[in-house]
Structure 1
């Protein structure tokens, strides 16, 4: 594969995100931001940390200079998470569509990281231990209601103007995986793909080791794309396309996405050997934030998957590269910090131009503001 000439996207500014103090002894959300999505009017940001089971809401200040007024929303209250109270959901994707905030967990396993203070036996023990936590297999949606000041709030259910109801709901997290060595409780999505010829061998492999790992979501009118950090197959990143149907009390079930009755469709994209960290619709295209599958700092790049979000010509399952997947530019990354994890298009009120807003996991010291705040970057996107 011939790599295009590399260029760094121009950073045109930064904007502060002011969070409140964390609950209990936890770290501030700024330490582990994994995804972000902006409202259409640019006044609300929804964010998540991959170390919690909450979503975070920030509101643009009256001056339009920063986001604050932090509200923390526990997902257990809205979606009935099955894991322990202190168990994270490893949220890696957020989307706004159809009056809902959509939430996707990683659906991954996790290997424990050795600590500096561990002796040899303890370090080996931690590397042997692979965690399977039920909350990580979350895929659901929560309806949005308008609150005071016309700011979007989350609700259990919302009555629409047509008399219908939008209800909070999620895919089942109670499917036994007979194809897996560990017959553990996972999700309906895992059940659908665990015997797949491409995905099956990676369902027992932890995240950051090329295991199955959801990072990024795009919700269209009748289709949903899930970006995968892994597996990367022979240099090709993976996008999983699904559809959902609503059941009783807002519960969700996988629905067929093709004429053959299959409940998922596979797309493999040539991203220079990188995995997917975030997805975002952009007109008829889908923008991709890509980074290493393994636990490395970089490179980090933005790509455009052309016409992937088109309603008139849905993409068939297959392998995409060349003119279908355009390289747009590199993003900066740190040495052990500043890992770009989430992106959204942000058009601030009064501005005629939207910019790419990027948030980082493990922010560098010069990105932190006060006890709980952090700076997000704004980039100029070619062709926007």
Structure 2
């Protein structure tokens, strides 16, 4: 989830929805979230059935929202071996969108649209991922394959945070790509940042679960590449918030919020006594179970 402003209320925000074909407008008020209109981004289908964008990240910078698909191969499904369907699902998720809402086109009380936004699609990142991460690009997540799960934009660059793969030295991968390459056919090179995000309480490597820019610095919500087994409790420090600059600096070990309640997104909403006040969203509970936390920020 990302918002167009970082101070004051209400705020226009956009939330990525990994089980639909787009994203949803949210109005953030002090102590309340208002669900607004849905913004359709794709219309991909297979055998007459709509396919998910598998949107996993949202960002805002310089007047534009960005929504990114997972760019990964689907997880294995029991009894499903249709290569054509798997390829279609992977193609549907390998898209990136830049979205701009005209001033006054969103009702600040309801989140309803009065005019459709400008939407620009990019397919360039998929090719960059294949070139940069060839050994992992065709593998599903459970085999340490590519899955994008966070996006941030800063100073003309897009940063794609990968949940997987994680390298042998327990370093995760963040791809840095000039926006001009992705949206304007410009020249430039993609580079890899490799933060060391450690392991969870079971010794499993952690990748990027969300990525954002705060006060010019990258913040990483880190968690295990693969979800814990069903019924396995999530414990203190399995998920952690890092600041990433020259290296990864731990800011907060997140507590366990219950079995199969997995931290999925982080949204800063203000500061208090040197700490970031933020909303933490989860994969598992209905509605994402937004929970207020404080993250020390040096």
**Does TM, scored on the shorter chain, surpass 0.5?**
yes
- 2:114, 2:268 → 1: CA distance? 21
Residue 22 of structure 2 is aligned to residue 54 of structure 1: yes
| The one of 178, 184, 192 aligned to 2:128 | 192
Query: What is the CA RMSD across the aligned residues, in angstroms?
Result: 3.1
* Partner residue, 1:380: 294
Matched, 1:131 2:86: yes
Which residue in the other structure is 2:243 paired with?
304
Match for residue 220 of structure 2 among 283, 288, 291: 288
Which structure carries more relative contact order (alpha carbon 8 Å, separation 6+)? 1
Aligned to 1:266: 192
1:128/1:232 CA distance change after superposition, 3 Å: farther
Question: Is 2:278 aligned against 1:356?
Answer: yes
Residue 5 of structure 2 corresponds to residue 91 of structure 1: no
Deviation at 1:156, TM superposition (A): 5.2
Q: Deviations over 1:201-253 (max 9, x none)?
A: 1011102431011111111131111101111002000010001338xxxx925
1:227 to 1:154, Cα distance in 2 relative to 1, 3 A? farther
Question: Residue 208 of structure 2 contacts residue 223 of structure 2 at CA under 8 Å; is this kept in 1?
Answer: yes
1:256 equivalent to 2:187? Answer yes
For residues 156 and 149 of structure 1, the distance between their equivalents in structure 2, rounded to whole angstroms, comes to 9
**CA drift at 1:69:** 4.4
Structure 1 ranges of 4+ moved more than 4 A = 81-85, 127-130, 152-157, 351-354
**Cα pair distance change 1:333/1:205, threshold 3 Å:** farther
In 1, Cα distance between the equivalents of 2:35 and 2:54?
Answer: 24
Distance 1:98 1:381 in 2: 25
Whole-Å separation in 2 of the counterparts to 1:244 and 1:155: 26
Asked whether the equivalents of residues 358 and 377 of structure 1 are also in contact (C-alpha less than 8 Å), the reply is yes
Q: Deviations over 1:328-360 (max 9, x none)?
A: 121234554211111111139xx9985121111
Measure how far apart 1:154 and its partner are: 9.0
Q: Which residue of 2 aligns with 1:238?
A: 173
Pair 1:331-2:254 in alignment: yes
Contact 1:111 1:127 in 2 (8 A): no
Would the aligned equivalents of 2:151 and 2:159 in 1 still touch at CA under 8 Å? yes
SS of the residue 1:270 aligns to: coil
Point out the structure with max Rg over C-alpha: 1
Match of 2:34 among 68, 91, 95: 68
CA drift of 1:147 comes to 2.3
How far 1:254 sits from its partner (Å)? Answer: 5.3
Deviation, structure 1 residue 54: 2.1
CA shift in 2, pair 1:113/1:42, >3 Å = farther
SS across alignment from 2:163? strand
Superimposed CA distance per residue, residues 29-51 of structure 1 (whole angstroms, 9 cap, x where no aligned partner): xxxxxxx1133144233212211
